[in-house]
Structure 1
Amino acid sequence: MFENPSKKMHMIVISSIIIIIFLSSFNIVSAQTSNEKPLRLSVGIWPPNFLAYVAQEKGYFEKNNVDVNLTLAQDYAGTLTDYANGEYDGMFVVYSDAIIQNSEGIDTKVVFNTDIAKDADPIIGNVDNLTELKGKKVGVDGINSFSHYYILESLKKVGLDEGDVEFASIPVQNMSDALKKGEIDAGHFYNPYSLDALKSEFKILSTGAIVPGVLTTVLAFHSDVVEQRPNDIKNIIKSLVEAKEDYEKNKEQDIKIMSVKTGVNKTDIIKGLDDAEVMDLEHNSQISMNKELNTSASLYTSGNSIADFFAERGVISKYPNFQYIIEPKFVNELLIEKK
């Protein structure tokens, strides 16, 4: 039995049209992807942030089809200024600083809670406990800063208030020297800067564990970037979550990557990661970004307390709208997809 030639030709034409449409669609998608500029992300000197380098070096960003340009930020204060000036699309930032940025008109969205201080951010001094700091001088990384707020909240736990101590503004990288020289009696540290002070036999008086929610690192982006490139933001978060899971399986390998990319030694990186609680999607969705949760672990609740502190001191003039600043949709979508 012979096939009808006209019917055969008809099928060939239809198949060709389908192939052309498919290839055209593929080319359009490819062009859109390739024309997107890399998202510029600032990575501060804080070990949990270094998981971004694991995501980069192990191909998680590439796997999730997002192009990210990571910049190691040695000068945290300078990074805040650079972000405000538009030199970065996003940054790993202390939550309280993101609040200040918004108050100053730098439209920013918090899209992920990366970690909270656990045994990190020690208050280290030449006395035996926080109570003995009464009448002493305490170093903070900036007056009316997150560091200042953290020390005050810690002192409240032992019945001391601001009038009971004298504060000195000292950059964290200089805190250990100030303590050794006797310029201060205690100070707020974080890794890797705390290890030098501990080598000199000073004592840990307290850590972030006693004031949950006060010291929180978040991933934040300019609002227009979030609106224009939501899939990229979502895929960055996904890549960071996968990098965390990779680290839990391949610690030695990933610590080497982080050390090579940042110049921070392996011991300091291990200490920093062990002393912080690195967050996952579940914690973000159910706790950090849960506006119904009335605990300091919620970014909404802790944000209000931090804003009160800044408003009382004139650091911010505009009270933040946390319903606008916090954007939980990405973690919620990723959690649903994961299930």
Structure 2
Amino acid sequence: MKRRSLLLGAAGAAFLAACSDKSDAQSASGSLTLGFSAWPGWFPWQVAQEKGLFTKNNVAVELKYFDSYTDSLNALATGNLTCNSQTLNDTLSSVSGGSKQTIVLLNDNSTGNDQIIAAPGIEKVADLKGKKVAAEQGTVDHYLLLLALEKAGLTEKDVTFTPLLTDAAAAAFVAGQVDAVGVFAPFTTTALGRAGSKAVATSKDFPGAIPDTLSFQSQYVADHPDQVQAVVQTWFDTVAWIKANPAEAVSIMAKKGGVSDADYKTYDAGTTIFTKEQNLAAFESGTDATHLDFQAKKIAEFLVSTKLVETAPPLGGLFEPKFVKAVR
């Protein structure tokens, strides 16, 4: 499974014109396809489907699960999805490449479930100098690695970066083929299976750096606000259902994630699901990491400076809080 790629921009833009007819047809019909992939903050969509919460809110949703997160990004950018669960980072990358997207919901912040895990003898990020480090190139865990190196006074040139798919990177680390690895839950569980290994940096160290959101095709938001509202309402209904039925919810989400209920529970602290009040605060303009517009500017600067995108994405109209405001 892949999650959280930052490299979509140019590739996604190349397909936009070719797929515009499909996107227009989808908007005209009002049909709604929602994509998600492997991340604890997005598995609640599976609960929503299995417990009939979309139907309760009178919205017909085709839920599409992607083993490859990158494929879900491409699907939204090319008009093959109405909306997708993706990081703010990846939305910015897509928008930079020409995709027209609107963020209507903040699902969660990563608060520890993205990790840089190192072999025994490596006590801190600075100790990675000269070491072999694996991560999926362009993913948010690559981004986390760069942030951690920067904080330690290093750059990617100070390590031997080994680009591998996330599952392969975790396996290579366990096999002793690399000295450290950047991975996300549930692959953190795999990587920590190496005796004596530990996380030397996590997303908890960079508050607000990795927001996870629901991004719609902008035209669909303009044409079908009632359906968008119903999806956002369903999210908060689902969060309430999970709180009232924790054991059953964990079983549903763990099964979808391919892990045990016990392992899934360990991810709880590392993914902070946002309440309506936290959403509203995040959508407000601000000057610190708790605000989406501040974080978007910071991420955009980082993406350009590291050449992960060629041009800074336009931020005007990217965030639309009216749907969260209208939640009952």
TM-score w.r.t. the length of structure 2 is: 0.85
Q: How many pairs does the alignment contain?
A: 298
Q: Which residue of 1 is the match for residue 236 of structure 2?
A: 241
Q: In structure 2, what is the Cα distance between the partners aligned to 1:167 and 1:107?
A: 32
1:162 aligns with 2:156: yes
1:298 aligns with 2:291: yes
Code of the residue aligned with 2:118 in structure 1: it is: G
Shift of 1:315: 3.4
Code of the residue aligned with 1:253 in structure 2: it is: E
Q: In structure 2, what is the Cα distance between the partners aligned to 1:163 and 1:243?
A: 44
1:191 aligns with 2:185: yes
Structure 1 unpaired stretches of 5+: 1-34
Code of the residue aligned with 1:206 in structure 2: it is: A
Q: Is the 8 A contact 1:72 1:262 kept in 2?
A: no
Secondary structure at the residue paired with 1:41?
strand
2:301 corresponds, among 288, 300, 308, to 308
Q: Which residue of 1 is the match for residue 53 of structure 2?
A: 60
Code of the residue aligned with 1:162 in structure 2: it is: E
Code of the residue aligned with 1:43 in structure 2: it is: F
State the Cα deviation string for residues 264-296 of structure 1 (Å, max 9, x = none): 43234322333210111111111x2111x1112
Q: In structure 1, what is the Cα distance between the partners aligned to 2:112 and 2:256?
A: 25
Q: In structure 2, what is the Cα distance between the partners aligned to 1:266 and 1:77?
A: 26
1:88 aligns with 2:81: yes
Q: Which residue of 2 is the match for residue 24 of structure 1?
A: none
Shift of 1:50: 1.0
Q: In structure 2, what is the Cα distance between the partners aligned to 1:154 and 1:122?
A: 10
Secondary structure at the residue paired with 1:122?
strand
Q: In structure 1, what is the Cα distance between the partners aligned to 2:96 and 2:152?
A: 31
Give the structure with the higher percent helix: 1
Q: Which residue of 2 is the match for residue 173 of structure 1?
A: 167
Secondary structure at the residue paired with 1:112?
strand
Shift of 1:37: 4.8
Shift of 1:305: 1.5
Q: Which residue of 1 is the match for residue 24 of structure 2?
A: none
Q: In structure 2, what is the Cα distance between the partners aligned to 1:140 and 1:303?
A: 23
State the Cα deviation string for residues 70-105 of structure 1 (Å, max 9, x = none): 111101112222222222111101211111111111
Secondary structure at the residue paired with 2:216?
strand
Q: Among all aligned residue pairs of Structure 1 and Structure 2, give the percentage whose two residues are the same amino acid.
A: 28
Structure 2 unpaired stretches of 5+: 1-27
Secondary structure at the residue paired with 2:220?
helix
Change (3 A) 1:170 1:159: same
Superposed, which structure 2 residues align to 1:123-134 within 5 Å?
123-126=116-119, 127-134=122-129
Q: In structure 2, what is the Cα distance between the partners aligned to 1:205 and 1:36?
A: 49
1:117 aligns with 2:110: yes
TM-align CA RMSD? 1.9
1:258 aligns with 2:253: yes
1:47 aligns with 2:47: no
State the Cα deviation string for residues 165-203 of structure 1 (Å, max 9, x = none): 232212111112221333321111111111111122211
Code of the residue aligned with 1:298 in structure 2: it is: H
Q: Is the 8 A contact 1:191 1:271 kept in 2?
A: no
- Identify which range, 314-323 or 113-122, moves more after superposition: 314-323
TM-score w.r.t. the length of structure 1 is: 0.82
State the Cα deviation string for residues 9-43 of structure 1 (Å, max 9, x = none): xxxxxxxxxxxxxxxxxxxxxxxxxx965410111
Q: Is the 8 A contact 1:121 1:189 kept in 2?
A: yes
1:204 aligns with 2:202: no
Q: Is the 8 A contact 1:290 1:298 kept in 2?
A: yes
Q: In structure 2, what is the Cα distance between the partners aligned to 1:250 and 1:73?
A: 26
Q: In structure 2, what is the Cα distance between the partners aligned to 1:264 and 1:84?
A: 30
